[in-house]
Amino acid sequence: MRYKVMQAEVTEHGHWLTQNALAFEVRMTSKKADSQWRKNHTIMAIANSVEEAIAMCKLQYPDDPIIDQVVLRNRCMDLILCGSIVEGQP
């Protein structure tokens, strides 16, 4: 199994030098033009900034998106992605 690893740089004392991956929990709603009701979405967005996380979510759900809440779930972290998940995306 292959993995993709993004590692943040750390000083000898354990302080973060870079923020390669931030995990944001984004809560939003969207409503298609022909729909009567809005649909709720909870998304984990791995991004470099809160603005990038919001933009990614709006791109994924472009139908009248309303961002309800964005919460940073992990200040800085290393990210390991399973290669089969990334490769399996259309």
The partner residues of 79 in beta bridges, in order of sequence, read: 6
Average pLDDT of the residues in 80-84: 73
The pTM score is 0.69
* Contact of 72 with 21, CB cutoff 8 Å: no
pLDDT band at 21 (very low <50, low <70, confident <90, very high): confident
Domain ranges of the chain: 3-87
